[in-house]
Chain A
Amino acid sequence: MTCDCNQAKTINNSKFEKLSLDKPEDTKIMAGYAEFTIQQLENEIDNPNSEIGKKLKSVEADLDKY
């Protein structure tokens, strides 16, 4: 899997509440052997070169069906 090590970008996604249930720094997303922060998750989604980001973006779009 190729990936890009861009610096963290600010989360800017008005469609979603900004973690109203918790502090972002206390939240980790477990994915296989890795864990990543919400910011890293957002960075992957925003990164056009990230394979997992592309997949996440596609799933994100499907959230509209709910």
Chain B
Amino acid sequence: METAKILIVAPMKRGDPTQHTFKWAQHAVQMAKDLGYDVKIIEKNDVTYKNVTKTIQEFKPRLFASFSHGCPNSLIGQNECMITRKFTVEELLNMYSSGNLEKVETFRKIINPMGDISCPGICTLNNDICNPICNNETNIDTLSNTIVYATACFSAKQLGVCSTKYGVQSYIGFQDLLMFPVDNLKSQNIFGEIQLEFYKSLLMGKTISQAEQDMIQLEDSYIRKYKTIKYISLPMLWNKVNRRILGDKEASLY
């Protein structure tokens, strides 16, 4: 039996959440190597649309793990979207005329690429890489028959749903923001441990649904442990309720 191939992408910028998710990715690489998998990592400035697409086509990973930013319609590399499914003109027109506020908002982002001025803080739209929407050509289809594990915001919302129609076997991601605290006690490491629990279970040969149960068990234990420390328990539960598992839940690496 051929060794399963694992491709990990890990952009990283200092002072950005990817500074921390990059460390999670490094753990993921080591874990897979220790278990004898054929592992490849694309990191930092190498995480471009072109490079990621080419590597997927040549390496043909069984598991694609992205520790990155994400948008509803794309996963984001170092400076640009790297995995996406491009909208057609017809879809854009339907979006505009749908009357659905969310769809109209998506359309608005496309025709108003500079975005709107907003208040500071978590509502800021300035420098929002989801705005404008990724306009690279569709490459989600290159991940056909792959399990995608996206430790990234939002991507399960549109890209994940769409990905299974392009042949992605299973897509694990978030339909909203991925949140985690960063403090002097390195609480972010607990969040990394939870994210990697699912991944670790997959490496151990478990199915998607079994890996999900392992992850839930771990995160529930931490939520109970830190229940009264709101800045830990709230983002933890937030991530749990916003995680989505799409496609084949009985899939495993072999």
Contacts and interface: CB of A to CB of B under 8 A. Distances in A.
Interface of A: 1-5, 13, 15-17, 19-23, 26-36, 38, 40-41, 44, 50, 52, 55-56, 59-60, 62-63, 66
A4 B184 CA distance: 30
B230 interface: yes
Main secondary structure of the interface of B (DSSP, over half): loop
Contacts of B231: 19, 27, 29, 38, 41
A22 B227 contact: no
Query: Closest 3 CB pairs between A and B?
Result: A3-B123, A5-B119, A30-B17
B121 interface: yes
A32 B177 contact: yes
Given A21-B185, A22-B185, A30 B123 contact: no
Contacts, number: 119
Contact of A44 (B120, B122, B178, B223): B122
Given A32-B153, A66-B220, A66-B223, A3 B121 contact: yes
A16 to B, nearest CB: 4
Contacts of B20: 30
B238 A56 contact: yes
B69 interface: yes
Which of A16, A36, A66 is the most central at the interface, judged by chain B CB atoms within 10 Å of its CB? A66
